[in-house]
Structure 1
Amino acid sequence: MTKYRIAYLMCTATVAATGLGAAAPPVAHHGVHVVWPDESIQKAVDAAKPGDTVLLAPGTFHQSVKIGTPGLTLRGMGRATVLEPGTKKDANKCAEGGNGICVVGTKDRNVEGVTVTSVTVTGFARTGVFSMATDGLTVQNVTAVKNGVWGIAQERSVRGRFLDNFARDNGDAGLFLANTITEEAGASDTEGTVIERNRLEGNRIGVTVRRLRNLVVGRNHLTGNCAAVFVVGDENKPKAGAVTVRDNYIAHNNKSCPKTPRLDALEGSGIVLTGVDDTLVTGNVVRGNVGKSPLSGGIVLFKSFVGVTSDRNRISDNVVEGNSPADLVNTDLGKDNAFVANTCRASQPKGLC
């Protein structure tokens, strides 16, 4: 008799002896919907119930999908499952917007608990994975490559988890999080969103956090971008900030990107803070970021383009070496910004190291 069989019989006997069998609550059963490359992902998603999994088989899917079902998991087989734009028009707004996977709630209610994992999204005109009005979305082990604007993007959402993703050669940011994309508004509270253990290479910007509060950017690996991490605020109220940027490895982000209507030319920027308050930058290794942009340098506290100061930010206990024009740069006129216990050699102005 096998150990598994013995354990099963012992468990059954215990339940019978204690009389718990009759009182046991029913077990919730969640369905699994398997989709092959020649089948419609959207049809499987539309048929799924909350808590179900839509499992994508290995292969290339030439289509987009929009998810609005709470608790749904969209899972592939790692890099063997690829989503690319279709040759025929998809009948959903996700595809019409140039996106691969969309997770979208409504104006009045966030969609809760969705997971997107273990898929590759590539070649979409706008975004590989886009989300809006979500609560507790998890995007994990996603590969987002060569999408026109963002690899993975989110707006108007809370409690997101962006873990172990790989974003490379996307037109703007590998990971982009904002309060809202289409209008001006004050910074919103993400209620503890986490961006951790991602690998971000060759994008215009590795991670952009725009007009948000209360989130962590930690333990990511960023190299070969024009700029690695941008934390951005503006004149709207409440102000952006209360972000923690910690324990990231940021090296040789020396790709050159031209000026845009919103942002100066980028080259050789490690971590940039502009127009934000109460942000902590600590425990990061920032090396070899070299450029001639106004935003170049290892860790840069940059004067806001709209004249808003950055106040009460703390840059401490980082290893910042071999960056140019300096390891630490402060061009902001804000109050109570502190540069403390960093390992570095050169700063602008002098005296920050």
Structure 2
Amino acid sequence: MLLGVLAAAAGAGTVLLLHDPADAPRTDAQGVVHLAPGDSWAGALSRAAAGATLVLDPGSYDHQVLTGVHARDVTLRGADRAGVVVDGIELDGSSGVTLRSMTVRSRDGRDESAVQLGGGSSDVTVADCTILPLARSGVDLFGRTHGVRITGNTIDGSGTTGEAATNGTSRGIHLNGAPYDRASWVADVTIEDNDISHAGSDLVLIAGARQVVIRGNTLHDPQPNDDHNDGIQDYGSDGVTIEGNTFRSHGDNGPDQGIILGRNPRVPDLTVTRTVVKDNVVEDWRGTGILLAGTDDTVVTGNVVRRTGTDAKPGSSFALQTPDGLQNTRVQLSGNDFVKVYDSGS
């Protein structure tokens, strides 16, 4: 609100317009802009200089929607990762934003992901955050979103007070290219150095994406339920690299795989092509370590798969399968440490 106070500078005839300080976020002595709960993120991002960092002061923030906001490599950084809590962040057709060092959770009672990037959003980084999906996914990419880096986060679907997301659409990270024509695919995504756990379904699901790197993550303990819960499931992609990740989820041998690549017969428009699976370690997993089921041009090299299933019910380190007649074509295997290999004849 303007105070409406005009003052003339002495002897100069200059007119000064004074504003209520509540009109703008606070700027500290170092010139850093601080936002508090209730301040406009969209307005601050739009005004920020290229390369600026805006600090979120400790507190609880309502669901944030950034529509058509095009920042210039601007960072929104929480002053305290645990003390800045945001009830969901949604970017729709926005770009040039880094979200860093905050806790983001799904809104109570809402069937939505904690972080949503859609509408062709681009040049977005999500780094060093704690992400708590109470429904759907921790980070959900869709609608031609591209140029995204997800790094150094803890994404935990177990819930903080027992409100775990347990439905079959609850993933740690979801790359969703629906309606599955190539124009809608997600592209140029790096998922690196995250701890991803306790999803109600897959820890990472790819269903329509190209040029994706999944590197150096710890993927562990998807929830044991009636769903098909994998470390990484990919049934629609071109040019994915899965490298140097660690997988861990102890339990009886079953349908939950460490890595599963292959076409979904129910979505015939999607294929899995030009995939590299390299230098991953499956320490302990309750299903097959690495499974190919209808892929084309896949390189599997330097992986170590130790224990799968239990001593009483061991699983396979590596498996080739042909669901509904689908074939694995042009598979290259080299330098892997596998205990048990299964081939259905593909």
Partner residue in 2 for 1:5: none
Q: Is 1:149 the equivalent of 2:139?
A: no
Give the match for residue 74 of structure 1. Answer: 76
Once the two structures are superposed, the pairs formed by residues 66-145 of structure 1 within 5 Å of their partners are 66=66, 68-71=69-72, 72-76=74-78, 77-84=80-87, 100-105=88-93, 111-124=94-107, 125=110, 126-132=112-118, 133-145=120-132
Which one-letter code corresponds to 1:70 in the other structure? Answer: A
CA distance in 2, matches of 1:158, 1:216: 13
**Distance (Å, rounded) in 2 between the aligned partners of 1:47 and 1:114:** 10
Q: Does 1:209 align with 2:214?
A: no
Residue 340, structure 1, aligned to residue 334, structure 2 = yes
Give the 3 Å change call, closer, same or farther, for CA 188–62 of structure 1 in structure 2: closer
Shift of 1:350: 8.4
The Cα shift of 1:36 comes to 2.3
Match of 1:58 in 2: 58
> Retained in 1: the 8 A contact 2:151–2:194?
yes
Q: 1:192 to 1:61 in 2, by over 3 A?
A: closer
The one of 173, 176, 180 equivalent to 1:175 is 173
Flag the structure with higher strand content: 2
Q: Offset at 1:267?
A: 5.0
Q: Is the alpha carbon distance of 1:42 and 1:190 closer, same or farther for their aligned partners in structure 2, counting shifts above 3 Å?
A: closer
- For the pair 1:219 / 2:219, whether they are aligned, the reply is no
Deviation readout 1:242-267 (Å, 9 max, x if unpaired):
110000001116599xxxxxxxxx85
Which amino acid is 1:176 matched to? H
Distance 1:227 1:219 in 2: 17
Call closer, same or farther: CA 1:31–1:151 in 2, change over 3 Å.
farther
TM-score, structure 1 as length reference: 0.70
* In structure 2, distance between residues paired with 1:255 and 1:33: 52
Distance 2:136 2:210 in 1: 23
Normalised TM-score (structure 2)? 0.71
Measured after TM superposition, the shift of residue 351 of structure 1 is: 11
Count of paired positions: 274
Query: Where does residue 231 of structure 2 map in the other structure?
Result: 228
CA RMSD of aligned residues (A): 2.8
Partner of 1:242: 239
- Find the partner of 1:313 among 295, 298, 301: 298
Offset at residue 159 of structure 1 (A)? 1.9
Q: Secondary structure at the match of 1:344?
A: coil
Residue identity (%): 23
